[in-house]
Structure 1
Amino acid sequence: MTASLFHAAALPLGGGPLYLRLQAMIRGAVADGRLKPADALPPEREMALSVGVSRVTVRKALEGLAAEGVVEQRHGSGTFVSAPSRKVQQGLSNLTSFTEDMATRGRRTTSDWIVRRIERAAPAEAMQLALSPGESVARLHRLRRADGLAMAIERACIPVAILPDPAAVGASLYDAMEAAGHRPVRALQRLTAQNLGPDDAGLLGLAEGTAALAIVRVSFDAAGRPVEFTRSLYRGDAYDFVAELALSERGPA
């Protein structure tokens, strides 16, 4: 059914570049319901033959639509119509886990584990966690999903004295740390913009170079000890970070 939508006569008339006309055709099919969320688009080669354009034109059109959020390109799986945007607004004043954030919004969280093992801390990690050179950390890398949608990539390291068994972490890292008596109570974090490289873009189902939010967080327990060093990438089309500000009182004139 989906493949039948793609033919030369379906391209909008006009003298613009072919990739823009192909994008307009796909957008129109999504807008009027002929293409529905999660529908798979034909492979590039098949689409190029059906529409009568080059594979380069098809690739350029799909990359542009992926950057807009109209479609998702999943490495090794193909191109799919994106689900309607459900952008998450996340406050910056409270220290919560991804699982807690999504639970408050009624969304189901799952994780795809990438790395879960004990390794020697890298110099930058040892410095952030106040560890001696050569000490070990529990390294936890995972793709976080909400209702099946890939939302973020988290790369956390925890001192092995606090988390000696990475396999003890289930849905929530903070729950495992609380069970060990070292739940974070405050954190310092830095947010920057970053364009996704090919590997991270593939994990998130986005085009290489898509803008993302990069967050570096160092968390501390009640004793003031650094217990978590996490670097995360959040997809920019699904997350807004919001901070409430108050005007500081002025001193005497």
Structure 2
Amino acid sequence: MNVAAFLEPADWFRSKGGPRYIQLRQRLSDGVTTGQLATGSPLPPEREIAAITGFSRVTVRKAIRSLAEDGVILQKQGSGSFIASRPKQMEQNLSRLTSFSEEMARRGKDATSRWLERGLFMPSADEITCLCLTNEDQVARITRLRLADGDPIAIERASLPTDILPNPLAVETSLYETLEGHGHRPVKALQKISAINLTDQDADLLATSPKDAGLQIERTSYLSCGRVAEFTQSTYRKDAYTFIAELRLAKEPA
């Protein structure tokens, strides 16, 4: 796709069509929607877009920044602006306790991971509290980038007592399948969902813009005996998931 030809203003700019940055923003957005601007493709530098359109660099910057805030464009410092990858949004039922691998398999998607950290470590203060450990204990920790059909979806940071997961290297795909093989499959969990702004590092891993909005889910999972088996903090792209929960009317007191 010849981006310069696509941005040629004679094809889309209207002198009475509203603010210039709005028209440029719409032109770029339309290109993404129709597939004329492919995912991952770079945009010309702001100065070149300004020269092509005849707009000021301030106008161009305002349009690009607006699209970056919406997750349409990904800005990488030192590398420029790119059309962002936007995975199809999925719904997840909060009443079902499943692993990421199981959830993706149920949807017919290929679940893959990129390992970021895996091993035995001294526990943090949060891990000591959540997993009922002591300062002398070690903790099994696995951190990975979770992908569905190649699209980055979430960063998952899981911590477990070492008697429940003595060898983190044994986890190849599904953590819950590994735990089930040792008789330690969690049967219930409590989850807390929070809105966050992504750190620069997490934004880079999730192929979105720094400080972009995201979702953080803290999950504390329990064995059938009531013991805490897992503490996981997962960071999701804002456009990857919609979480749903079924609510029932509480019975009136007798």
TM class, shorter-length: 0.7 to 0.9
Aligned to 1:113: 115
Structure 1 residue runs of 5 or longer lacking an equivalent are none
| 1:79 maps onto 2:82 in alignment | yes
1:140 corresponds to which of 127, 142, 159: 142
Asked if structure 1 preserves the Cα contact closer than 8 Å seen for 2:37 and 2:83, the reply is no
Distance 1:49 1:164, change over 3 A: farther
Distance 1:68 1:156, change over 3 A: same
| 1:13 maps onto 2:14 in alignment | yes
TM-superposed deviation, 1:220: 1.2
TM-superposed deviation, 1:215: 0.7
Following superposition of structure 1 onto structure 2, how do residues 50-65 of structure 1 map, counting pairs within 5 Å? 50-53=52-55, 57-65=59-67
- 2:165 is paired with a residue whose SS is coil
Aligned to 2:157: 155
Distance 1:157 1:96, change over 3 A: same
Asked if structure 1 preserves the Cα contact closer than 8 Å seen for 2:45 and 2:80, the reply is no
TM-superposed deviation, 1:128: 0.3
TM-superposed deviation, 1:150: 1.0
**Over residues 97-131 of structure 1, what are the superposed CA-to-partner deviations in whole Å (9 max), with x where a residue is unaligned?**
01111111101111122111221000111110011
User: Amino acid of the residue matched to residue 184 of structure 1?
Assistant: P
Aligned to 1:243: 245
Aligned to 1:216: 218
Asked if structure 1 preserves the Cα contact closer than 8 Å seen for 2:43 and 2:80, the reply is no
Aligned to 1:27: 29
TM-superposed deviation, 1:56: 5.9
How many percent of aligned residue pairs carry the same amino acid? 44
Equivalenced residue count is: 251
TM-superposed deviation, 1:54: 6.0
Asked if structure 1 preserves the Cα contact closer than 8 Å seen for 2:84 and 2:208, the reply is no
1:190 corresponds to which of 168, 189, 192: 192
Distance 1:95 1:31, change over 3 A: closer
Structure 2 residue runs of 5 or longer lacking an equivalent are none
RMSD (Å) for aligned C-alpha atoms? 2.6
User: 1: CA distance between counterparts of 2:124 and 2:195?
Assistant: 24
